Structure 1
């Protein structure tokens, strides 16, 4: 198993996983990842995570994340997430963030690693990344979980998922109010 997935498993960082396994010759994960754990109420009860990377789609080799896309509730959570998983990011990886409180997009470098961040309003990371790399949702529905991630990753490798170059400080200046529409009982 990949060092990335071992780290996630050993530290109990997977949250509501829907897939962990092979992605062609690589490995993948779908679900959420804990960034900051919830409070421990008792030896066997813990509150949900304070901070999590949601709707994660991750592809990794033995040592590093080759591709990661996810939702963050706030761009303020980015530095905390980076610190938690820092060892597994690489300068040649592809990292696309969808952030609910961003009022603009951009590609920025953080400690030698390039990230692209887009606002996320009402859609899902899955729908947004498919649109970004020009894949049809209908075609993807016919595939199993492994094939979906593998097809997406193959397309990401040949697509340009970057946006206008900005500094990390420029990105922080784009933090606004969350525009994501909450669904549920009123």
Structure 2
């Protein structure tokens, strides 16, 4: 089962903007993913999720995620997130968690999988990922949604592998009280 099939079959997508094939061998997902379901009020009415991986950018091949980036409101949601989606990650997966309540960045390993955890204040995951892969918005301006994701995926092959620099426990100790700044009209 592909990650996209798992997401759809288990009703884990939340406000998806893209869920499909981007090439003959790659699939992608953009949107939010449910980490903890909302309260079920009736057969047809469910409250919004209690916890989500927001602004997800996921690129997968067959049953494994090649690239995954998202926003987590709190690092406290990490274990719940990992339990729900861990079967699709492996040692080759590039995973970036942009976390609002972290007071520092780190690269850590959890159950044999490497994660980059980075503080997120005001920016979007999309903009952060473009910085991560050294692309400018203008590089993608006239491309289709599929081609934008393929371009990001192609850039990942140029990245140097970074070494683990924190333990999971050290990352948990970086949880602070930071809240996301809301931007809007002044």
Q: TM-score, length-normalised on structure 1? A: 0.94
Provide the C-alpha distance between the structure 2 equivalents of 1:28 and 1:64, rounded to a whole number of angstroms. 11
Provide the C-alpha distance between the structure 1 equivalents of 2:120 and 2:22, rounded to a whole number of angstroms. 26
Q: CA deviation at 1:183?
A: 3.6
State the partner residue of 2:147. Answer: 147
Measured at CA, do residues 67 and 28 of structure 1 come closer, stay the same or move farther in structure 2, by a change above 3 Å? same
SS in 1 for 2:62: coil
Measured at CA, do residues 90 and 37 of structure 1 come closer, stay the same or move farther in structure 2, by a change above 3 Å? same
Provide the C-alpha distance between the structure 2 equivalents of 1:158 and 1:133, rounded to a whole number of angstroms. 8
State the partner residue of 1:127. Answer: 127
SS in 2 for 1:42: coil
State the partner residue of 1:4. Answer: 3
- C-alpha contact 1:70 1:125 (8 A) present in aligned 2: yes
State the partner residue of 1:173. Answer: 173
SS in 2 for 1:46: coil
SS in 1 for 2:17: strand
Task: Note if 1:117 corresponds to 2:91.
Answer: no
State the partner residue of 1:15. Answer: 14
Q: TM-score, length-normalised on structure 2? A: 0.94
Q: CA deviation at 1:93?
A: 0.7
Deviation per CA, 1:107-140, whole angstroms, max 9, x where unpaired? 1000000000100000000001111221011121
- C-alpha contact 1:96 1:161 (8 A) present in aligned 2: no
Measured at CA, do residues 43 and 184 of structure 1 come closer, stay the same or move farther in structure 2, by a change above 3 Å? farther
Runs of at least 5 residues in structure 2 that lack an aligned partner in the other structure: none
Deviation per CA, 1:42-84, whole angstroms, max 9, x where unpaired? 1110000001000000011111111100000001111100000
SS in 2 for 1:41: coil
Q: CA deviation at 1:15?
A: 0.6
Count how many residue pairs are aligned between Structure 1 and Structure 2: 185
State the partner residue of 2:80. Answer: 80
